[in-house]
Amino acid sequence: MKIPKTIDELQEDLKKKKYSATELVRYYIERIKKYDKKINSFLTVSEEYAYSKAKAVDKIISNNKNFFNEFPLLGTVVAHKDLFLTEGIRTTAGSRVLSSYVPSYSATVCKRIEKAGAIMIGKVNCDAWAHGASGENSDFGPTKNPWNIRFVPGGSSSGSAASVSSGFATFSTGTDTGGSIRQPASFNNLVGLKPTYGAVSRYGVIAMASSLDCVGHLTKSVRDSKTIFDVVRGVDGKDSTVVNSKFQIPSSKLMKIGIPKEYFDVGIDGEVQKNVYSAIDVFRNAGYEIAEISLPHTKYGVATYYIIQTAETSSNLSRYDGIRYGEYRDKFGDEAKRRIMLGTYVLSAGYYDAYYLKATKVRSKIIEDFRKVFDLEGIDAIIAPVSPSPPFKLEERTDDPLKMYLSDILTVNASLAGLPSLAVPCGFSKNGLPIGFQIIGPKFSEYTLFKLGEFYQSQNNWINKEPDLEE
């Protein structure tokens, strides 16, 4: 069975009855059984559930082929990050604390995706509580990068990325607090959307750091990313940070793209620079105006993020007190404990002003940097690398938390500013590992990012390359 890469093509096949949704699910399940032992992307395969949904989908399709207009995700197969609550199906957050937790309701995003016709195939691995940039903090063992299993798939949405690039699902959901969708997407040759803070409901998604958490998804194409965004965005009445904002309508003229010099400074791997510069050339050659810009507070991003994020994390994790959801607090892993301690420290009397309060002020400076380029310099969108290096080797950074934290240097600033950012694949390193770039825009400019991303993929589509799982 040859499964196409995008939602449109998949639905075309289903319409033409090349295969049924049930056959599609069987194909994925068999593939997971055959190959996931070495990738470790799934924590729970919801086989029975998937077959029963597939049966329902097949019934809908046989009744009326036009249902594809009514159900935009009809027949697609989704893997949810194990941070998303799924009614009746175990949800662990990648942590032993929740190893036997079965939620009594589903996250808004899971419900909306299901209502649009998608079939959930299972729950995928992640760094415990979404703390990490490599997938190695999962209490259920690290996920491996399908492009080379000696390398990390990125994190924290490690299983979300590895499952889609391994061909175990059509798309996956993820969360991005400081880069956890964009970085694993770019380590796996995928498109990853971190929406504007407040564009998508987080109801039913286990919280990491509440002023930063965003819910998004990983796909092969930008067009699919847009299709899913249309389904999940908007007010649900259950997450008060969500607003039904007017989304920016993409400009019909050639836009002005800013290249932040701080994102290409020393410390960025040469191959990453080269590939991202070639992506920029695609826009330049098509007549887009490319301007060098400066975001001078970029260098304070990691320090600011790791104060604000740990403060909020320590507060959010206090609800796991051994009484309500699962196991005792001694089941927390090292990284969660580190963040609880750091966060408690920066919030404690005597240190609050010196660390937490100061970090919130620097955050304002970072927000202001972006505002200046978008509002005063007329920049429509920013293009930059996602990660300072291609995927790194397993265990390369596990002994040194600071080194791991520095993996986030190019993603945390958009998070601190609440801006949308779309990661798009732009090639491979010499040893065959994926590299991506990100397009960052002003708040609620998602459709501008999609337009730019779709243009890039129309010129240079790397998604036709696939990892070889037989190796």
Catalytic annotation, pick one of 41, 134, 138, 156: 156
How many whole angstroms separate alpha carbon 189 and alpha carbon 240? 34
Per DSSP, 419 falls in state -
Task: Compare residues 131 and 144 and give the one whose CB is closer to ligand GLN.
Answer: 131
CB burial readout 97-122, b (16+ within 10 A) else e? bbbebebeebbbbbbbbbebbbbbbb
Binding residue count for ligand GLN, defined by CB under 6 A: 14
How many whole angstroms separate alpha carbon 197 and alpha carbon 276? 26
Query: Smallest distance from the beta carbon of 208 to ligand GLN, in angstroms?
Result: 5
- Classify strands 42-45 and 119-124 as parallel, antiparallel or unpaired: antiparallel
Q: Is residue 312 a contact residue for ligand GLN (CB under 6 A)? A: no
How many whole angstroms separate alpha carbon 134 and alpha carbon 260? 25
Q: Is residue 180 a contact residue for ligand GLN (CB under 6 A)? A: yes
| Residue of 85, 98, 185, 208 interacting with ligand GLN (CB under 6 A) | 208
403 belongs to the catalytic site: no
Q: Is residue 408 a contact residue for ligand GLN (CB under 6 A)? A: yes
- 67 burial level (CB within 10 Å; 0-12, 13-18, 19+): middle
Per DSSP, 320 falls in state -
Taking residues 117 to 136 in sequence order and writing x for each that binds ligand GLN by CB under 6 A, - otherwise, the string is: -------------xxxx---
256-260, strands of its sheet edge to edge: 42-45, 119-124, 77-81, 171-176, 214-219, 191-194, 421-428, 434-440, 381-385, 256-260, 289-293
Q: Is residue 172 a contact residue for ligand GLN (CB under 6 A)? A: no
315 belongs to the catalytic site: no
| Residue of 117, 146, 159, 178 interacting with ligand GLN (CB under 6 A) | 178
- 367 close to 416: Cβ distance less than 8 angstroms: yes
Catalytic annotation, pick one of 180, 186, 221, 429: 180
Q: Which residue is nearest to ligand GLN (CB)?
A: 180
Query: Smallest distance from the beta carbon of 408 to ligand GLN, in angstroms?
Result: 5
Which residue in 296, 452, 457 sits closest to 381, CA to CA?
452
Of residues 145-164, which lie at the interface with ligand GLN (CB under 6 A)?
156
From 100-108, 109-117, 169-177, 324-332, give the range in contact with ligand GLN by CB under 6 A.
Answer: 169-177
Catalytic annotation, pick one of 41, 46, 53, 81: 81
251 belongs to the catalytic site: no
3-state DSSP assignment of residue 381: strand
Q: Is residue 184 a contact residue for ligand GLN (CB under 6 A)? A: no
Q: Is residue 176 a contact residue for ligand GLN (CB under 6 A)? A: yes
Query: Smallest distance from the beta carbon of 331 to ligand GLN, in angstroms?
Result: 19
From 12-20, 101-109, 176-184, 324-332, give the range in contact with ligand GLN by CB under 6 A.
Answer: 176-184
DSSP bridge partners of 216: 174
Which residue in 28, 26, 21 sits closest to 54, CA to CA?
21
Amino acid at 214: C
Q: Is residue 177 a contact residue for ligand GLN (CB under 6 A)? A: yes
Per DSSP, 421 falls in state E
Task: Compare residues 380 and 408 and give the one whose CB is closer to ligand GLN.
Answer: 408
Of residues 33-72, which lie at the interface with ligand GLN (CB under 6 A)?
none
Task: Compare residues 276 and 308 and give the one whose CB is closer to ligand GLN.
Answer: 308
- 352 burial level (CB within 10 Å; 0-12, 13-18, 19+): middle
Q: Is residue 110 a contact residue for ligand GLN (CB under 6 A)? A: no
Q: Is residue 446 a contact residue for ligand GLN (CB under 6 A)? A: no
Structure tokens at 196: 């504007």
Task: Compare residues 208 and 346 and give the one whose CB is closer to ligand GLN.
Answer: 208
Per DSSP, 264 falls in state G
Q: Which residues are catalytically annotated?
A: 81, 156, 180
Binding site for ligand GLN (CB under 6 A): 130-133, 156, 175-180, 208, 309, 408
